[in-house]
Amino acid sequence: MTEQSKVHSLTRRIATFVVDQRRLMFFLYSAALLFCLFSVRWVEVENDVTQYLPADTETRMGIEAMNDNFAPSGMAQIMVSNVTMEQAEGLRSGLEQVEGVLLVEFDHTTDHYKNATALYDLTFSNGPNDPVSLAAMADISRQLEGYDVAVDTMVGYDETAMLADEMTTILIVAVLIIVAVLVLTSRSYAEVPVLLLTFGVAAVLNMGTNFIFHKISFISNSVAVVLQLALAIDYAIILCHRFSDENETKDAREACISALAKAIPEISASSLTTISGLVALSFMKFSIGFDLSMVLVKSVLLSMLSVFTLMPGLLMLFRNWIQRTKHKKLLPNITPVGKFAVKARLVMPAVFAVVLVGAFLLSNRCPYAYSYNEVKTAKMADRQVAHFAIQEEFGTNNMVALLVPSGNYEAERAILSELEARPEVKRTMALANTEAMDGYLLSDALTPRQFSELVGLDYEVAGALYSAYAVDQNQYGELLQGLQEYDVPLFDMFVFLKEQMEERNITMSGGELADLDAMFAQLDQAQSQLQNEHYSRMVVYLNLPEEGQETFAFLQELRSLMGQYYPSDYYVVGNSTSARDLSDSFASDNLLISVLSAVFVIVVLLFTFRSAGLPILLIVVIQGSIWINFSFPTLMHQPLYFLGYLIVNAIQMGANIDYAIVISSHYQERRTQMSHKQAIVEALNAAFPTIFTSGTIMASAALLIGNLSTQPVVSIMGNCLGRGTIISILLVLGVLPAILVLGDSVIEHTKFQLQPATRREQEVRGKVRVKGRVQGYISGMVDADFDGVLDGDMNATIRMGGTIEKAEGGEENAN
């Protein structure tokens, strides 16, 4: 028995088991669905993309250090238009009184007031999702009711919930579009519910099994269902059409078994290119690629499993309805397209080559963005609209935080002094330049007498306090030398005083306490935002955009400046640092994904077509569609978020190559029976329904994501994938046919075989079954590919690993 025969026998046994045990399959899937409805709650979603940066990047290390040492606090920028300065001052006073608001920054400079418009920078005492911050934001909204207000804040902004709502809407609209497409391309109306049920089960299984990854990104969580639908609906369509074909001559059971046996290798081979492109994502340094890759690869595998094991039972369940609701073919043939390809076979490839060069050059100049705060989407949330409105009026609010080991106030003052003299810096905020009382800064060092006069303590009490501090800090030499000149930073002494009062080692009168209340409130603020026992944090507001070569160069200067005062353990943290780190990882990730996705797909195509030339032609067409796709941001001067490019590059190569494979497969089959000109016309007519179905579903699902989602990463990915799919369809229908016709001889001359060719002279009489290339006389000259029964005298050469078997009533004489 040949390898092919063995494979066919195995798939038939599997198909028979699945069809005959369909009730068992229904039970297993019902149990799995019930489990997944509960397990979907176990999936954790990560909303911060910087968590997927390599662990050794400054952004990742700095954020972890900052989160471990400083309490999270909500931030807000509130712009109030059409107000006088007097009104603006009144609003500031009201905002400062709101419980939960730690700090309100507002002054008379153009950074906060111009053109009758006021801008307030608010810092909340708690995190953005803390009930206190939410209550404060609600109070602020009530205070500003009636004013022309724009609020840019993450307080109360639940991006995960918003994305979930958006994806629900997108999925509903996508399903409606898909139903319409399936009706157009189906052969029976009852096929549609079978397809939708199969997909629905696969989608629930994928969502319910994401818990095996412990945590997935918000990108994977939001787009997986829609992309699963777009990537894998083809598998169900293939089996459905196979069943319809087989059911023409066989009963439902035998038709279903035969259809599944034939569909298993076909669908498995088709999925390899999609999986290959997705696997390429997992090699990114930016591990969000691995996250998305694993979720989507699992979705494709579960979709195939559902098609192989659940759908046959559904076809049997709906078999009577499928027979009753058959309808005529609704999609027309595209014969004119095929005839045009034949006529343009010399011109079209030449034009495409010119376009390819231009697209390559334009796509390499694509304006990438690494911070999606600056990326506008088709649909924007109120927060995004406010962000761009504030930016248009007051410019970019680019803030970075400098984390340095705490305690070296002189170094902090020196750093701040140099930064405040730089034109790139708007203003700074740190312990070393925060005023405490009577002109003193929190970092100023005071003697016991100065401290007693400032706070209103008896000198003896102040002396005792300084003595206790010296003992606490193991500075016994200061006690021996005398405390008159012993100076301690004001911040450190206030922290120590507060601790002693809480431990009741020092008691103060009501009047003294009243004077210190404001100081202790400022101390709490400083401790939560600016310094703790491990790190000091300096906040620097830049006059630079969040990203760009000038910004990245200044970040390097910042690090060099900090390195002059600190040997190690210092960080620059902010959107600009994140953008720089993402930019650094993008260069290598981009090359890696482009090369790996192309190589993986080429390997699959080599084994599929057993030709060295054909895979190259198909890759050139799809790679061309990718370059054309990413020429649009350059031509439209629109920044493209880098992550959208990386993801779409891999998916477009892995998924859209299927359209080229479908046409090429039909062309190769027909090429053995007719001329290459006629073969391409017939191939396009045969492939068009599949390409129309798959392409329309992919493009519509992606464009829905792009135009209905407010999340910049998700929106950009959707628009790019939708546009890329449409371009791929146009190229495989308009350019690939001409290339196949023109390159027909190249394809033929680059064919190879996995096993050595065999030549066996055989003489046979009677009825025999022949499979392989036959050359010789069979009551006449024959030179053709056969897979059938010959009845007569034959003296021929069998090539290319062909087989010849004795059929019933025949006799074989081998020479």
Query: Per-residue pLDDT averaged across 184-189, rounded?
Result: 79
Question: CA-to-CA distance for 265 and 271, rounded, in angstroms?
Answer: 10
Kindly compute the dihedral angle of the four CA atoms of residues 297, 303, 304, 306, in this order, to the nearest 10 degrees.
140
Over residues 770-793, the mean pLDDT reads 58
Residue 248 has a CB neighbour count (10 Å cut-off) of: 7
**Can you spell out the DSSP letters for 641-696?**
EHHHHHHHHHHHHHHHHHHHHHHHHHHHHHHTTS-HHHHHHHHHHHHHHHHHHHHH
| Least trusted range by pLDDT, from 179-188, 274-283, 778-787 | 778-787
Single out the residue of 69, 134, 145 nearest to residue 99, CA to CA: 134
* 464-473 contacts, C-beta under 8 A, 24 or more apart: 464/506, 465/493, 465/496, 465/497, 465/500, 465/506, 466/493, 468/496, 468/500, 468/505, 469/493, 469/496, 472/496
Apex 453 CA angle, 447 and 455, nearest 5: 95
Give the Å distances, CA to CA, from 347 to 248, 499, 733.
Answer: 43, 85, 15
- d(CA 398, CA 661) in angstroms, rounded, equals 48
Average pLDDT estimate for 464-485: 77
| pLDDT value at 783 more than 60 | no
Query: For residue 140, what pLDDT is reported?
Result: 92
| 369, containing H or E segment | strand 368-369
Element spanning 535, H or E: strand 535-542
pLDDT for 507: 67
- pLDDT at 512 (0 to 100): 56
CB of 228 closer than 8 Å to CB of 303: yes
Q: Which residue has the tokens 């579009």?
A: 177
Asked whether the predicted pLDDT for residue 801 surpasses 50, the reply is: no
Give the β-pairing of 44-46 and 215-217. parallel
- Considering only residues 151 and 8, tell me which one the structure prediction assigns the higher pLDDT: 151
How confident is the model at residue 792, as a pLDDT?
Answer: 60
pLDDT grade for 118, boundaries at 50, 70 and 90: very high
With a cut of 60, say whether residue 804 has pLDDT above it.
Answer: no
> Residue 441 forms beta bridges with which residues?
435
Query: By the 8 A CB rule, do 19 and 256 touch?
Result: yes
Helix-strand-coil split of the chain, %, nearest 5 = 65, 15, 25
* Residue found by looking up tokens 């500003």 in the block: 144
**How many other C-beta atoms lie within 10 A of the C-beta of residue 404?**
21
Q: Which helix (H) or strand (E) holds 784?
A: strand 781-791
Identify the residue with better confidence: 69 or 707. Answer: 707
Amino acid 160: pLDDT: 74
Whether the predicted pLDDT of 811 surpasses 50: no
Q: What does the block give as tokens for 230?
A: 């777009």
Look at strands 117-124 and 101-105 and give their pairing: antiparallel
What span, in angstroms and rounded, lies between the C-alpha atoms of 779 and 687? 37
Most confident of 491-495, 509-513, 551-555, 809-813: 551-555
| Average pLDDT in the chain | 81
424 pLDDT higher than 60: yes
Residue 289 has pLDDT above 50, yes or no: yes
For residue 742, give both structure tokens: 């023109």
pLDDT at 135: 92
For residue 148, what pLDDT is reported?
A: 92
On whether the CB atoms of residues 424 and 554 are closer than 8 A, the answer is yes
Q: At what angle do helices 409-420 and 549-563 cross, to 10 degrees?
A: 150
- The pLDDT assigned to 7 comes to 52
Report pLDDT for 8: 58
pLDDT in tens, 305-319: 999 999 999 998 988
CB 801 within 8 A of CB 753: yes
Q: How confident is the model at residue 785 (pLDDT cuts 50, 70, 90)?
A: low
| In the chain, % of residues over pLDDT 70 | 88
pLDDT digits (tens, 9 = 90+) for 193-248: 888 889 889 989 999 999 898 888 888 887 788 778 777 777 888 788 788 878 88
- Residue 651 and residue 278 in contact, taking contact as beta carbons nearer than 8 Å: yes
d(CA 150, CA 300): 43
pLDDT at 79: 93
Phi, psi of 370 (to 5 degrees): -115, -5
Query: Average pLDDT, stretch 787-815?
Result: 51
Mean pLDDT confidence for 376-384: 84
Q: Are 747 and 611 within 8 A, CB to CB?
A: yes
Rounded to whole angstroms, the Cα distance separating 17 from 308 reads: 11
Specify the 3-state DSSP secondary structure of 183.
helix
Indicate the residue type of 738. Answer: A
Query: Which range (145-149, 610-614, 689-693) has the least confidence?
Result: 610-614
Dist CA 614 CA 739 (whole Å): 10
- On whether the CB atoms of residues 681 and 338 are closer than 8 A, the answer is yes
pLDDT band at 149 (very low <50, low <70, confident <90, very high): very high
- What separation in angstroms does the CA of 126 have from each of 63, 334, 403, 517, 528? 17, 63, 20, 20, 10
**H helices within 21-115, ranges in order?**
22-39, 58-69, 85-96
Total Cβ atoms within 10 A of residue 182: 23
Among 279-293, 516-530, 685-699, 738-752, name the one with the lowest average pLDDT.
516-530
Q: Tell me the average pLDDT across 350-373.
A: 88
How long is the chain? Answer: 815
The residue-averaged pLDDT of 476-493 equals: 76
Stretch among 263-267, 272-276, 514-518 having the lowest mean pLDDT: 514-518
Backbone angles phi, psi at 56, to 5 degrees: -95, 5
pLDDT digits (tens, 9 = 90+) for 14-63: 889 988 888 999 999 999 999 998 888 888 888 777 788 787 788 888 88
Instruction: Give 115-180 as a 3 state SS string.
Output: CCEEEEEEEECCCCCCHHHHHHHHHHHHHCCCCEEEEEECCCCCHHHHHHHHHHHHHHHHHHHHHH
Average pLDDT over residues 679-700: 83
pLDDT for position 768: 62
Q: Would you call 86 exposed, middle or buried from its count of C-beta atoms within 10 A (0-12, 13-18, 19+)?
A: exposed
User: Any idea which residue has 């750093």 for tokens?
Assistant: 415
Each residue's pLDDT tens digit, 98-116: 888 888 888 888 888 998 9
For residues 741-757, give the mean pLDDT. Answer: 67
Q: Residue 623 above 70 pLDDT?
A: yes
Residues 6+ apart with CB under 8 A from 305: 202
CA distances from residue 651 to 102, 276, 663 in whole angstroms, order as listed: 46, 9, 19
Confidence (pLDDT) at 200 = 86
Predicted pLDDT of residue 139: 92
Q: What average pLDDT does range 141-150 have in this prediction?
A: 90
Q: How confident is the model at residue 510 (pLDDT cuts 50, 70, 90)?
A: low
pLDDT reported for residue 815 = 36
Query: Whose CA is closest to 657, among 629, 680, 626, 699?
Result: 626
Q: Provide the 8-state DSSP code for 783.
A: E
Q: Answer yes or no: is pLDDT of 761 > 60.
A: no
